[in-house]
Amino acid sequence: MSIYTKKQIVDLKCEDGIWLNFQKNTWLFFIKDKVWQPEEIQGVQHNDVTVTFIQKGISDAFLLEVYDCIEVSDLPFCIKEADEDVLQSLHTGDGYQYEIVLLNESNEVCALRDGAFTKEDSILLKKKLSDRMKEDFKVEDAEASYAKLSQKYEPYELEEFAVFAKRN
């Protein structure tokens, strides 16, 4: 079940780009651009999608790719700056969902694509994030680590550090 609907105006103050959010046990991948072409909208709705979770050192990220539409994009994530919704989700038996949301310059939803992580991938993600929460480092350390990682690797090269990949 989608959190957003097509043509909905999303109340967010944001610039063009890609970012990650979490709501109602769903990882939200927002992608904002001034204008979306019809073939890009069709691509997000129908082409193969791959969502990958990676870990390297103290760096965690999701990678998102929509075949023949959106190149592999990296979305770093630090559990130590997660909100209560994410932290509570680590202790439930519920599987995670995901939703890709294309926004135009007016924050209007132009396209949606939703899916679910497998039960095994959800359990693994919760374990990895719970374990990461117990590690002794600061948010700033994770940010600096990811900055170095992103200087060394292109987003598609980060796939070698995959914990899991969900193809849909």
Spell out where the chain has E strands. Answer: 17-23, 26-32, 49-56, 59-66, 70-76, 97-103, 109-116, 162-167
Averaged pLDDT, 137-147: 95
Average pLDDT score, the chain: 95
For residue range 13-39, list pLDDT tens digits in order. Answer: 889 999 999 999 999 999 999 999 999
- Predicted confidence at residue 2, as pLDDT, reads 86
Those residues whose C-beta lies under 8 Å from the C-beta of residue 144, and which sit 6 or more positions away, are none
* One-letter amino acid for residue 158 of the chain: L
Structure confidence at residue 156 (pLDDT): 96
Quickly list H helices, 48-138: 84-89, 119-134
pLDDT average, residue stretch 135-164: 96
The first and second tokens of residue 123, run together, are: 């359990």
Shortest CA distance to 122 belongs to which of 15, 4, 25, 22?
Answer: 25
E strand or H helix at 44: helix 38-46
Quick check: 1 pLDDT over 80? no
pLDDT, tens digit, 9 for 90 and up, residues 58-107: 999 999 999 999 999 999 999 999 999 999 999 999 999 999 999 999 99
